[in-house]
Amino acid sequence: MATPMTSRPTADRPLLVGLLVDVSGSMTTSINNVSGRSTTRLDSLRDSLDDLIARAAKLCQEGTGGEVSPRVRLFAYGFGFGNPLSYLLGDSGSSVRDLLDLGDGPQSALGIDTLAREWQKYRQHIGGLVVKMLGDTPMARAFRIVADRVRSECADWQYTPPPILFVVSDGEPTDEPASTVRELAQDLKRTGTTIVSCLLTAQDVIEPRRLYGSAQPHWPEGARLMFDCASALPANSPFDAYFRENRWVVDAAGRLFTQINQSEVLREFSKAVLSPLASSESGSSHPGYTVRVFVTYSHQDSDLRN
């Protein structure tokens, strides 16, 4: 079961968000964007990352036009580096890499204030890594690295629980069996991390904008793996409020898993990762819910107008 959020993220106790992105060869496959034109999965992911940083910065802004508060800290890994061309060019780096490491050595997750201020530098750095991507899919290794990162982050910083990991992949590991990846994801969830899982595929496997409570018999193995990696949707949580407000169909025991083969759905689902920040802006005493009251009156109830 996912760890409930017991308090709102603050600058002293920020929200920890991790991104684990499949950058293997399958990421060149086309998906549809909102304009009806095709774009690659990799391009859509970069666009969604732009949106994620901009939205997080806006949610953490202190007052209109004010400074951005570091109420969220973020790390990001890509797995699938090491295509044949990169080896020919002498690249001997890891198949799983910290996408925000500019070569300055080990560092903590970056505050959203730093990322927002220097995003173009980091975006350019990620763009420069593309020629080294499009290799195999070392998904098990990626989960192990992320688990170590979450442990070290939580040892070094006081975070508002739970840590959130946003995983994007086609669910087809090449380094170890899918059963191993399932076990690694389960271990991570048992430590309190909430996993938001996105299946990238060109085929229409599942119903869009629906959170399933169980894997379906006709799903391919990649979809089943990504579903199993996902956390259950926590009741009365920012995630629950977000999906219901945006009119997703939520099954009983629904999980934080969806298929994404349209860029606008990818952006929408990535916004769910930041829903705890949105809930902290609402002022609600119950994280995740903004209370809206609508009063209708007749002439005899005119005193309710004020």
Global pTM reads: 0.84
- Choose from 15-24, 260-269, 274-283 the range with maximum mean pLDDT: 15-24
CA 4 to chain CA mean position, Å: 17
Give the pLDDT mean for 194-199. 93
Helix ranges (DSSP H) in the chain: 41-59, 84-88, 112-117, 119-128, 139-156, 178-190, 221-229, 238-245, 263-273, 275-282
163 in a domain, yes or no?
yes
Q: Which domain holds residue 190?
A: 15-305
**Structural domain contains residue 2:** no
| Residue listed under structure tokens 């169980």 | 214
User: Does pLDDT of 298 surpass 50?
Assistant: no
pLDDT digits over 183-192, tens only? 999 999 999 9
pLDDT for res 290:
38
What CATH number should be reported for the domain holding residue 82? 3.40.50.410
| Of 4, 16, 126, nearest in space to 70 by CA | 16
Domains contained in the chain, number = 1
Q: Is residue 134 part of a domain?
A: yes
Tell me: the pLDDT tens digits for 95-147? 999 999 998 866 789 999 999 999 999 999 988 888 888 889 999 999 999 99
Domain annotation covers residue 7: no
Residue 8 lies in a domain: no
Residue 54 domain-assigned (yes or no): yes
Asked if residue 3 is part of any domain, the answer here is: no
1, part of any domain? no
